Structures are given as C-alpha cells and as structure tokens.
Amino acid sequence: MSRSARRITATVLTAGALLGAAALPATADGRDHDRQRSAIVLGEIQYESPGRDNGSNRSLNAEWVTVTNTSRHSVNLRGWTLTDESRRSYTFDLRLAGRSSVRVHTGVGRDTRHDVYQDRRNYVWDSRDTATLRDNRGRKIDSESWGRHRDGGHRDDHRGGGRDGGHRGNR
C-alpha cells in the first residue's frame, strides 16, 4: 500500500474512533436511548363495572383491561404481569397473535384467545388507579393511570366509568 493510501486509511480509522467515543456519553447517561417501543400495549380499560356494584361474577367481569399486540407477529406473554396500584397482579400464560387483543376480566371465567379471567372475587380497578404491564423479566412495558393521583392531576380519558359518574363507593 502506498504511503498516501496508508495516511488516508489511518485518518478514516481515527475519525471513526473519535465518532464512536463521542457517542458513548449519550448512552452512558442512564437513559435507554435506543429502547424500542413495545408492540404490546394497554388498550381500552373499563375500570368501573357498569350498573350496580353487587359483587356478582357478572359485575366483576364487566371491569377489564385490554392488552393489544400491534405487530404482525405473535408474542409469548407467558410470565408477563398486569398489576394495579395495590399490587394485585395477574400473570399471563398465553401467546397473543399479531394484530389482536385480549381482555383481562376481573372475575371468574373460562379463558379463550380473546378473554382471560383473573378468577378474583373482589373488584380490582378503582376509580383512581394505574394499570401496569410488565414483561417476564419485570421490565415495565406500558402503564395507564386514571382518576386523581398523588401529583394532583386528573385524567378523564373515556376508558371507564360506570353510570354513577366514575365513583364506585366503598369496596
């Protein structure tokens, strides 16, 4: 290789090394800059059972959270969890097909491809709450909050609310 070709090669390699070193602080600042948004997201949420809160299984199953796969490919949700602010948790054991959703109902029922049941005897989703979806490694994938929260904010996002204006009363 000629002397000028070696100089050009050395210059290009040095420039590449400098660019690589300049990029390090951007990823070392504690933030996950290249984290991709998950194809699995929380969808529609019915946090207030419509009608009377009589504690029946029908009433319990009228409160639910939808989990949606926005990608074309199926995703194994085995070991993923859906949790409320009181740390009540549901663990998934299903494969969610691409471009489909599953509703997670509170009460007792028979699981299908589109509906799964927490098999609980008490309501989960309060008029002020947060639904958090985590993968099987415990990483937060998505969350949705509604009602008044510690920061004093109020979210009225059409995701729930019964005929009583979104107030369930004592449970």
Q: What is the DSSP string of 94-115?
A: -EEPTTEEEEEESS-----SSE
Task: Kindly indicate the confidence band of residue 6, based on its pLDDT and cuts at 50, 70 and 90.
Answer: low
Average pLDDT over residues 83-87: 97
pLDDT of residue 60 exceeding 60, the answer is yes
Write out the two tokens for 126: 């309060």
Strand runs labelled E in the chain: 40-46, 64-69, 75-76, 81-83, 89-91, 95-96, 100-105, 115-117, 129-134, 140-148, 154-155
**The dihedral of CA 112, 116, 118, 124: what is its sign?**
negative
- Residue 152 has a pLDDT of 46
pLDDT of residue 81 exceeding 60, the answer is yes
- Residue 120 has a pLDDT of 98
Model confidence, pTM: 0.69
pLDDT of residue 160 exceeding 60, the answer is no
pLDDT of residue 31 exceeding 60, the answer is no
Average pLDDT over residues 140-156: 71
pLDDT of residue 166 exceeding 90, the answer is no
Angle CA(104)–CA(61)–CA(73) in degrees, nearest 5? 20
| Alpha carbon 121 to chain centroid, angstroms | 24
